[in-house]
Amino acid sequence: MAEVRLNKYLAEAGVASRRKADELIRAGRVTVDGAVVKEVGQKVDPERQEIAVDGKPVRPAPKVYYLFYKPAGYLTALSDPHGRPTIASFLKRLPYRVFPVGRLDADTEGLLLLTNDGELANRLLHPRYGIKRLYEATVKGHPSPAAIKRLLEEGIEVEGRRVYPKAIRLKGKGPHTSTYEVVVGEGRKREVRKLFASIGHPVLKLKRLAFGPLALRGLRPGEIRPLSPKELRTLRKVLKV
């Protein structure tokens, strides 16, 4: 392990958030090789140095991976300055500190990967690996086949880039709504919502069903479960890690 900032190491080891780790350091509760450290920005080599908090050695947390069904109405964040509900309330039950890979907006529900493996998370989100996201979108009204074709062929501009959905398939129709399965590549901010809004059919409900080889099957809103060994092997194979 290369040198890392002490507060980052404490956070990744599950001791506390970086902000709380800074407080521990300033309070003189953290030692490196037996010496009290009070410099927040100090770098350490956990493989060669002994780091302790209140005299107890701090060991690196094992890499962990969980699937989480994020309910609608929660921010994909670990805290919010405005006091809005976040997914942090669901993560308290986990034995290790984790972070969400990517995000779903507050009104969107569905699959999130939770982990403390930064390298794997970066690969999942990097456009180079082309990890697809599958959504189920219920929209107002009944878009015409020509409008759907236009979305597929022309795409839309999101955050200064033109993006194209990989696939849009009609699942069913109600009296006043239509439901589609939509596959996107990078999953840019509110991309699926912007796609349908651009043709005059706003999204009423949005759920992420899959992220790469990982699927939501078997989870209910608010539930979390570890990846199975097979799921983790498949994910690593896709990402070449």
* Active site (catalytic) residues: 105
Kindly give, in sequence order, each residue whose CB lies less than 8 Å from that of residue 211, ignoring residues fewer than 6 positions away: 101, 102, 111, 112, 113, 124, 131, 133, 134
Contact by Cβ (8 Å): 6, 15: no
Helices (H), the chain: 6-12, 18-26, 88-91, 118-125, 145-154, 191-197, 229-239
Identify the helix (H) or strand (E) that includes residue 168: strand 167-173
Residue 217, both tokens: 């099957």
Kindly give, in sequence order, each residue whose CB lies less than 8 Å from that of residue 165, ignoring residues fewer than 6 positions away: 151, 152, 155, 182, 183, 184, 192, 195
